[in-house]
A and B are shown apart, each in its own frame.
Chain A
Amino acid sequence: MNGVARVLVVEDTPTQAQLARALLVGLGHEVEVAETAGAALVAARDWRPDAILLDIELPDFNGMELMQRLRAEGIDVPVVVVTANASINAAVEAMRAGAVDFIVKPYAKARLAVTLGNALEKQALAAQLASVKARLDRGQFFGFIGACAPMQAVYRTIESVAASKASVFITGESGTGKELAAEAVHRASPRAGRNFVALNCGAIPRDLLESEVFGHVRGAFTGASADREGAAKLADGGTLFLDEIGEMPLDMQVKLLRFVQTGTFSPVGSSRLERVDVRFVCATNRDPMLEVQAGRFREDLYYRLYVVPVELPPLRGRGEDVLLIARHFLAQFAREEGRGFHGFSPPAEQALGQYGWPGNVRQLQNVVRNIVVLHDGDRVELDMIPRAVRRPDGAEGDRAEAAPPSAAGPAPGLVPAATAARVVRPAAEAAEAAEEEMAEIVPLALMERRLILAALRHTGQDVPRAAALLEINPSTIYRKLQSWRAEGLLPTG
């Protein structure tokens, strides 16, 4: 038997209790003795034994009832029943009642060791199985919501690779949570206590990318008035996440390759080599091999970075996850917005489940926020869902109307309010008006005015909230209002 276990001996005869204690201590275990079933129950609650050695006949109530009470209290501990030859039947009955094994008196130390060892091992295996099952069935993982099989595979890959330093290459459509996956790799790794530095290669001007990655020294270029550390240095000991890696210019890819190969780099304007310990995680929404074949991505860099691929499934392939995620966002946004929503009506759930979600989780997040901002109630009804999403045929044809978010937006779960409103109609009235007027072509300025005024009406003239819904700066609304008043398009005052 390996390791020290805590064994509770439930025995009212002092000789037997003393013998069991001596043998168990001799086997290296910790021992407590309870002389009554009541005392055993208290010890099981307070001392949390790993196993119980139980005599059936006890002064207050018997061992069978004790096992029942333990089970009723959720105390899952293996019980070995100690019995005399004469009461084998009772032992069998006890096993039917949940004991894992029985041992016949008088017993030798070796027999006790084997019986107890088996019981503890069985318990450990059961715990391991429960843990594996929990892992396989888990609905959440480092910020991800989702229990479908493809996501379980993602969780397992992330978990398996986290402990190593191997580079991870995340692919997936926009809005599937690539940055969340990169963060999960970092947070599950031994590097979790150090920096996670994310850099969006597609959002940084080409001329600045090298400086952003490697830093620069004072005077390296016009405007470089002081030394500045880059992402590589900031991520030392931690994780460097290069998002939209496919957007990186080829000349920069050469420098990155050298950095990946040697762990060293020179800040812009310096010949001094710096060495760092960085774990690389990259992401793209393109097919990296196609990019290599098209000559837009260096093959040598591809093979350096594409060590452990993680492919995030699109939301349309995640089955019931759509509803899990929608409910999660509904609870979150209802709390944030002070709404009473507790769930979706069955038709609303059906509509969400049937939609194609071209913008993936980010789009679903935005749609739910839209609903919460524009409505209130106990549950979300079908007519609260934006019309484009309600269409059962809706993937491709709905893209424009349902307004999937841009690829460059932040990862699901990290979307600021303004971004989250990307897909949101400014107000119910505005949405209806806009849909009704689709056939009518009106000047853009007029449409803009209608939408802004509708958003203001909906929010009770709350300019910051209306601005958030319209995803514009509040100052834009103030400026427009001033201008419209000046032009006599609005009443003054």
Chain B
Amino acid sequence: MGDNGFAAQLAEDLSKEDLRLVLSVFRTDVQRLTDTMAGAATAEDGTAFRRAAHGLAGAAGAVGAARLEAACRTAMAEAGPLGALLADIRARAEAALGDVTRVLTRLDGRG
């Protein structure tokens, strides 16, 4: 998740089932909020874009996806072109979801 220290902490703090559930909710949040941001970017609705970025920053922060969180916070603070901001966020989100998949695979591998 770009922050393996915190991922390891989560794995330590949560049961396997809980961790799987949290990461699965995170995956859903990423999907839902990036879709919302894409819609807002198309509509050039900066307010809706930033609101969704705030939500995604919170979700990323909760699981320790630090780079994605940072990208979201940049998007919340900067008044740049929404499309460019979204592209950066999507890239970070993909990376974070890749991390999630790897963690879940490891969990499944452990049984």
Residues of A within 8 A of B (CB): 11-16, 18-19, 22-23, 26, 55, 57, 84, 86, 105-106, 108-110
Contact = CB atoms under 8 A, between A and B. Distances in A.
Given A13-B58, A26-B13, A19 B63 contact: yes
Nearest to B69: A84
Nearest to A109: B13
> Which 9 A-B pairs rank lowest in CB-CB distance, beginning with the nearest?
A15-B59, A109-B13, A22-B18, A13-B58, A105-B61, A16-B62, A15-B26, A18-B25, A106-B64
Interface string B4-38: 00100110111100110110011011000000000
30 contacts: A13-B29, A13-B58, A13-B62, A14-B25, A15-B22, A15-B25, A15-B62, A15-B63, A16-B59, A18-B21, A18-B22, A18-B25, A19-B62, A19-B63, A22-B18, A22-B22, A23-B13, A23-B14, A26-B13, A26-B15, A26-B18, A84-B58, A84-B61, A84-B73, A105-B61, A105-B62, A106-B6, A109-B12, A109-B13, A110-B13
A261 B26 CA distance: 74
A12 B12 CA distance: 25
A55 B63 CA distance: 16
Contact of B54 (A19, A57, A106, A108): A57
Contact of A14 (B9, B59, B64): B59
A18 B27 CA distance: 12
A22 B21 contact: yes
A184 B67 CA distance: 68
A23 B15 CA distance: 9
Contacts of A110: 13
A84 B65 CA distance: 12
A228 to B, nearest CB: 71
B63 A106 contact: yes
B29 A14 contact: yes
Given A15-B25, A26-B14, A106-B63, 18 more contacts: A15-B26, A15-B29, A15-B58, A15-B62, A16-B59, A16-B61, A16-B62, A18-B22, A19-B22, A22-B14, A22-B18, A22-B19, A55-B58, A84-B57, A84-B69, A84-B73, A109-B12, A109-B13
A106 B62 contact: yes
A11 B29 CA distance: 13
Contacts of B61: 16, 84, 105-106
Contacts of B26: 15
Contacts of B10: 19
Contacts of A14: 25, 28-29, 59
Given A23-B13, A106-B6, A108-B13, A16 B58 contact: yes
Contacts of A16: 58-59, 61-62
Nearest to B56: A13
A173 to B, nearest CB: 67
Contacts of B29: 13-15
A108 B73 contact: no
A54 B59 CA distance: 15
B2 interface: no
Contacts of A105: 58, 61-62
B95 to A, nearest CB: 16
B55 interface: yes
A86 B10 CA distance: 21
Contacts of B15: 22, 26
Contacts of A23: 13-14
A99 to B, nearest CB: 18
Nearest to B66: A106
A15 B68 CA distance: 14
Among A16, A55, A86, A108, which residue has the most Cβ atoms of chain B within 10 A? A16
Contacts of B63: 15, 19, 106
